[in-house]
Every structure is written in C-alpha cells, then in structure tokens.
C-alpha cells in the first residue's frame, strides 16, 4: 500500500517536469532563431542598401545614353544636347516611367515622326527643350546629323539613336544644318513623306552675328565680322559663300524643301517670339504636332539677367532651369553701316520668305 501511494504522489511531479522541459526547449529554440535572424538582418539590409544606388545609377546611365553624342564630332554644347544649366528631368515630366518601360520591353525605338530642321542659332535648342516638357514627346538630346553627315550608315543606325517610346508618343530629333543642306529634303522624304518639319527662324542679321559670336568663342583669332561679311568691303559686295550669311537666305533654302513637302507639313517658329512669348509659340507647335496643349505659360519664367525664358514645374516652387552659359553670349559691336548693308541685302530674301510662308516676321 505504501509503495502504491508513493507512485501516485510522484506522477504529477514527473508530468510537470516533462511539460517544463518541453517549454524550456521551445523557449531556447525560439531564442536561437531570433538570434540567428538578427545576425542576418543587418547583412540583408546592407545588401539592399548597396543594391538600391546601383539600380538608380543604372537608370541614370540609361537616361544619359538617350542624350549623349554618339557621333562625337561636335564641340558645341548645343550639338551635344547639354546647353542647359540643369537636368531636364527635374523640370519636365518624370522620365523614370520611360526607363521602367524600356527595361521591361514595353517601349520600342521608332524613326522620328517630326524633326526640327533649322536654323542654326535660331532657337532650336530652346524649342526642343520646351517640347520635351510634353509627356507625349520623346526626343534625342544630341544632334544626330544623320541626313547630312551619316546617311550611309542606314536607317537602322539612325533608329538606334532614338529614345524608346510608348504607343502614341511622338519621337523627335533636331539638327539645324538640315535646312541648308540640299540633299536632306529628298532623304527625309524617302524615309517618310509624312514627316512633320519645324523651322525656327530669326532675324537673319542678328542670326549671322550670333553665328559669328559662337565661332569666335572657340577660335578667338578669326578675322573680324566685317572682313568676313564682304568679299570687298569697299565694293560693298556681300560674300554669300560665308555660311553665316548664307544660312539667312531662308527663301532660297525653302525652295528646296517645297520640292518634296507641302507647306502644310512645315511649321515656322519665330525665334524672337520664342523668347518674348514662349507659351504662344508652344501653342502653335503643339497644335501642329497634333498634341494636346500641356505646355503653357505656367511652365515659363523669364530671367531678365539671361534674356531668355527659363523652365519650371507649374506645381513646384523650385528653382527655374535656364539655358546654359553657351547661350546668350554678348555680341561684338558691329559698325551700323555694316548692319544696314546686311539688312538691305536680306530684304528681298525676307520679302519672298514672308510671301512663301504667308507670315510677316517683321525683320525689316
């Protein structure tokens, strides 16, 4: 009897010890797992932090590749596409969506449906950057010079220079020398007879001086503007072989384009009004390109120090983004008699150009 009672009295103790051992084992196992997890967490977090900048860097490199000068044969900042003080992405619509689409294969590269074909020192860089504010416009930043310098490389080479676009987005490029190169109209027509063409024009006298100023900034030892303008300064004969003078003979160049394209496919933007009324000229450009009016006066801020409109986000109070130091150079002082001779020279060309375009640009 004593033995039986003793056995019954020790059974609950054994059960409690068994339960305690199980609970202790579970607690130790839980602590072990927690310690193991904590030891790996910093590594995972550090790895994640290490990878994030690389992903961002890859995206930035991809964006920059859309605008870099693949030809590497232009020394002018405008030709390279970097004539602005700030990154365009900070002002315009978010390009990250474009990068994501390109990386996952939802975008394709297309030949341009619209091209800014001229003119040099007319305001082509400003117009291109204004258009790039539009969410339905994608444009290569650098000047491809395909139709005048690289045509033998073929359309597939040209297509590869273009940014990737979604369905419904417009692909554009700008190369101002196209307007004055006689082979280009036929070559663009052969690519697509429906291509829309934009020409930014400016007072040809002011344009010539601006052209000379840019050249002199790279080659300070070039002859004076006056000596380059005239074949014989005493004979009052303008040297039309000098490109700075030749480019401003707009009517002569336009004749070549009208052999291939109807006037309805060309838009002439005033370089002067692009400065004084950028929203108005942008309204015309967006209508011509079949775009909804997204870029308005809310996107522009005039900088009196630079003399150019700067770009801004309508919803932001951030710093406006302006044309870079290569724009708005101070022009040299040209003798008034030389300027008047040039005005007299350009007058018949201007008159014909006004008649051809149906628009008086008010240069005379």
* Active centre residues (catalytic): 121
The answer to whether 123 is annotated as binding is: yes
The answer to whether 331 is annotated as binding is: yes
The answer to whether 329 is annotated as binding is: yes
Half-sphere exposure in the Cβ direction for 200 (13 Å, CA): 27
The answer to whether 25 is annotated as binding is: no
The answer to whether 98 is annotated as binding is: no
256, 147 Cβ separation under 8 angstroms: no
288, 198 Cβ separation under 8 angstroms: yes
The answer to whether 122 is annotated as binding is: yes
Q: Which ranges of the chain does DSSP label H, i.e. alpha helix? A: 2-67, 77-80, 96-103, 124-131, 146-149, 155-161, 184-191, 204-218, 225-229, 243-246, 250-257, 271-276, 278-288, 336-357
Q: DSSP characters for 98-141?
A: HHHHHHTT--EE---SEEEEE-TTTTHHHHHHHHTTSTTEEE-S
The answer to whether 328 is annotated as binding is: yes
For 303, list phi and psi in degrees, rounded to 5.
Answer: -105, 105
Q: Which residue matches tokens 């109209």?
A: 185
The answer to whether 316 is annotated as binding is: no
Contacts of 198 (CB under 8 A, 6+ apart): 114, 115, 116, 117, 127, 266, 267, 269, 285, 288
The answer to whether 330 is annotated as binding is: yes
The annotation places the binding site for 3'-phosphoadenylyl sulfate at: 121-125, 202, 210, 327-331
The annotation places the binding site at: 121-125, 202, 210, 327-331
């Amino acid at each position: 009897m004593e033995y039986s009672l003793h056995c019954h009295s020790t059974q609950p103790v054994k059960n409690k010890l068994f339960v305690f051992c199980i609970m202790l084992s579970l607690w130790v196992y839980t602590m072990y797992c927690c310690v193991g997890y904590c030891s790996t967490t910093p590594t995972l977090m550090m790895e994640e932090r290490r990878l994030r900048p690389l992903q961002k860097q890859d995206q930035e490199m991809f964006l920059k590749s859309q605008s870099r000068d693949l030809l590497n044969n232009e020394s002018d900042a405008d030709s390279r596409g970097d004539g602005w003080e700030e990154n365009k992405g900070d002002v315009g619509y978010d390009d990250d969506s474009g990068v994501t689409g390109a990386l996952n294969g939802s975008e394709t590269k297309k030949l341009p449906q619209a091209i800014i074909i001229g003119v040099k020192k007319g305001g082509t860089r400003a117009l291109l950057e204004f258009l790039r504010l539009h969410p339905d416009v994608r444009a290569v930043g650098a000047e491809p010079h395909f139709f005048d310098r690289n045509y033998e490389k073929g359309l597939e080479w040209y297509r590869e220079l273009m940014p990737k676009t979604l369905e419904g987005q417009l692909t554009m490029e700008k190369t101002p020398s196209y307007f004055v190169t006689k082979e280009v109209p036929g070559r663009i027509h052969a690519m697509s007879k429906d291509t829309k063409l934009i020409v930014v024009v400016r007072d040809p006298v002011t344009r010539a001086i601006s052209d000379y100023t840019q050249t002199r900034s790279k080659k300070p030892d070039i002859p004076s503007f006056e000596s380059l303008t005239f074949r014989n300064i005493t004979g009052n004969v303008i040297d039309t072989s000098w490109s700075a003078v030749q480019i401003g003979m707009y009517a002569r160049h336009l004749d070549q384009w009208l052999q291939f394209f109807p006037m309805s496919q060309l838009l002439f933007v005033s370089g002067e009004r692009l400065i004084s009324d950028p929203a108005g000229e942008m309204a015309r450009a967006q209508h011509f390109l079949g775009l909804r009016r997204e870029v308005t006066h809310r996107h522009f801020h005039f900088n009196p120090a630079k003399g150019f409109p700067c770009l801004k986000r309508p919803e932001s109070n951030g710093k406006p983004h302006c044309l870079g130091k290569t724009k708005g150079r101070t022009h040299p002082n040209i003798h008034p008699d030389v300027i008047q001779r040039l005005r007299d020279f350009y007058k018949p060309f201007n008159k014909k150009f006004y008649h051809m375009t149906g628009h008086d640009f008010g240069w005379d």
